[in-house]
Amino acid sequence: MITSTASALTRPLDALPGPRGLPLLGNIHQLDLPRLHRVLEDWCAEHGSPFMLRFGRTKVFVCSDAEVLQQALRERPEGYRRVRSIESVLSEIGANGVFSAEGEPWRPQRKLIMQALNATHFRGFFPTLQAITARLHGRWSGAAGRGETVEMTADLVRFTVDVTTALAFGEDPNTLEQDGGVIQDHLALVFPTIFSRINAPFPYWRTIRLPRDRRFDRAMRAIDAHVQTLIERARRRMRDEPSPAPRNLLEAMLAARDEPGSGLDDAAVRANVLTLLLAGEDTTAHTLAWTIFFLAQDAAVQARLHGAAGEVLGEAAVCRDLESVRRLDVFEAAAHEATRFKPIVPLIFLEPLADVRLAGVELPAGTPLFFVLRPAMLDERNFADAASFRPERWAAGHGVQPHDTRAYAQFGAGPRVCPGRHLAGVEIRLVLSMLAKNFEMRLAIDPGSIREVMAFTMMPSAMPVRLAPRAAP
């Protein structure tokens, strides 16, 4: 069962232990943003959970208890919200979409996105998804044949940008066959800047523009132009090639925006276009990269996955139909196990909308709550043999106990669980089965030199891999 630090005793936030800070500054000077998750994990180990930080006069509740996190996530959106700085920063750049919107503006956006990304809608899109995966296979086959090292993170970002743009906007940008000047070069600047601004002690960029802010401004202008072009082309298609039903998510958003009383406006459409581009580009690509990190170091697991892929794919290089994708559970299990060790979402930032008692601590409304996710996923009380990479623990009837999936919150939980989780699962199954079926892989550098970099999501500093074609059976 998930362990809890909840107590029958009630304590004020001030009574919690925590790292010693400086007068006035508190602990701000101790936070290295690219390593923020590691800093908080180290403090959890030192001070226990929960503990308290100070950012100037602001008191922060930090907790690694999965049961407490689940309680807060289940009580969203009525009881908790993301910390206000997230919505503020995203609103400034016009990206306050379904991810960050709170209250009533969130509800119509959530309904629309959930309908469009529902797993039942993948059948018509699958041929495009398969074609983009085949394009990735061709890119990797060429690199393997030439003996080149593949920078996996970069290629996977290109793949996810192509998939997201094709699914959501009805256009395939084919970034996999371009070598520069593509949209993800601009998107790559967005999450690090958002993360930096969310955690900044004050919003300096509103009065002073540093060189990094000017680079970000240029990237946002390019992204804005791209988004506006997508919207204009979708409007023209809807006018010139009318369809009885929306052909993609963008058309659905535009049609819904035009309905009286929809609760959507042009700003909401733009924000959700940008949200989908960012989410599709980032989370799935980094999940795949971290999974490859583990697979490339374990020849035995690679061999098992090669056999599993061969059973489903047969002689094909890429899975041929959606029914067969559903038989590739072991590949999504490998991704779950990889992100148990290397969570792309190592931290969740919330705040209560009213005074609450959480884990036996009295918390005033608006108190920042920092939840640290990895400790619970590496706890033997939640996952047996927790230090071992065992994808089979996620398979039905695995018999590896304990196995408490509530301690794994990479897609969130409760009413605001990630609406893109089904699409992510299909992408993961397609890419990893293609990779295992056709290639042997090994890291091109010492795995210890690959750093975890926190930039809203947790990404690898690099993921260079050498691929070797597998001989046909």
Bridge partners of 439, per DSSP, are: 469
Residue pair 199/89 in contact (Cβ under 8 Å)? The answer is: no
Predicted confidence at residue 161, as pLDDT, reads 87
User: 10 Å Cβ neighbour count for 35?
Assistant: 15
Alpha-carbon gap, residue 160 to 419, rounded angstroms: 16
Element (H, E) at 61: strand 58-63
Q: Kindly give, in sequence order, each residue whose CB lies less than 8 Å from that of residue 42, ignoring residues fewer than 6 positions away.
A: none
Going by pLDDT thresholds of 50, 70 and 90, the confidence category of residue 7 is very low
Q: What is the pLDDT of residues 227-243, one digit of tens each?
A: 899 899 999 999 999 98
- Is 4's pLDDT higher than 60? no
Q: What is the pLDDT of residues 132-157, one digit of tens each?
A: 999 999 999 999 999 999 999 999 99
Alpha-carbon gap, residue 346 to 38, rounded angstroms: 9
Over residues 19-36, mean pLDDT: 93
For the entire predicted model, the pTM comes to 0.91
Distance in angstroms between the alpha carbons of the first and the last residue of the chain: 45
Q: What is the pLDDT of residues 265-291, one digit of tens each?
A: 888 888 888 888 777 778 999 999 999
Residue pair 424/293 in contact (Cβ under 8 Å)? The answer is: no
Predicted confidence at residue 1, as pLDDT, reads 36
Q: What is the pLDDT of residues 300-319, one digit of tens each?
A: 999 999 999 999 999 999 99
Predicted confidence at residue 113, as pLDDT, reads 76
- Is 3's pLDDT higher than 80? no
Predicted confidence at residue 307, as pLDDT, reads 96
Predicted confidence at residue 205, as pLDDT, reads 94
Predicted confidence at residue 472, as pLDDT, reads 64
Alpha-carbon gap, residue 171 to 234, rounded angstroms: 9
Alpha-carbon gap, residue 399 to 288, rounded angstroms: 26
Residue type, 350: L
| % of the chain with per-residue pLDDT over 90 | 64
Bridge partners of 51, per DSSP, are: 62
Among 193-202, 323-332, 433-442, whose mean pLDDT is lowest?
Answer: 193-202
Two tokens at 85?
């700085």
* Dihedrals phi, psi of 58, to nearest 5 degrees: -80, 130
Going by pLDDT thresholds of 50, 70 and 90, the confidence category of residue 439 is very high
- Distance, C-alpha 452 to centroid of its chain: 14
Element (H, E) at 452: strand 452-455
Alpha-carbon gap, residue 312 to 306, rounded angstroms: 10
Predicted confidence at residue 180, as pLDDT, reads 55
What sections of 75-119 are H helices per DSSP? Answer: 84-92, 106-116
Angle between helix 152-169 and 249-258 (nearest 10): 40
User: 10 Å Cβ neighbour count for 105?
Assistant: 19
Going by pLDDT thresholds of 50, 70 and 90, the confidence category of residue 116 is low
Q: What is the pLDDT of residues 288-302, one digit of tens each?
A: 999 999 999 999 999
- Is 121's pLDDT higher than 80? no
* Dihedrals phi, psi of 201, to nearest 5 degrees: -65, -25
Predicted confidence at residue 132, as pLDDT, reads 95
Predicted confidence at residue 72, as pLDDT, reads 95
Q: Is the dihedral of CA 215, 219, 225, 227 positive or negative?
A: negative
Bridge partners of 356, per DSSP, are: 363
Interior angle at CA 57, CA 54 and CA 58, nearest 5: 60
Residue pair 62/370 in contact (Cβ under 8 Å)? The answer is: yes
Going by pLDDT thresholds of 50, 70 and 90, the confidence category of residue 181 is low
Predicted confidence at residue 2, as pLDDT, reads 42
Q: What is the pLDDT of residues 77-86, one digit of tens each?
A: 899 999 999 9
Average pLDDT, the chain: 90
Predicted confidence at residue 88, as pLDDT, reads 92
Q: Kindly give, in sequence order, each residue whose CB lies less than 8 Å from that of residue 392, ignoring residues fewer than 6 positions away.
A: 330, 333, 398, 400
Q: What is the pLDDT of residues 395-409, one digit of tens each?
A: 877 778 899 999 999
Residue pair 76/91 in contact (Cβ under 8 Å)? The answer is: no
Residue with tokens 């029958």: 8
Predicted confidence at residue 6, as pLDDT, reads 44
Q: Kindly list the distances between the CA atom of residue 316 and the CA atoms of 41, 204, 311, 313, in Å, as whole numbers in the listed order.
A: 44, 54, 11, 5
| % of the chain with per-residue pLDDT over 70 | 95
**For residue 149, which of 422, 468, 472, 471 has the smallest C-alpha distance?**
468
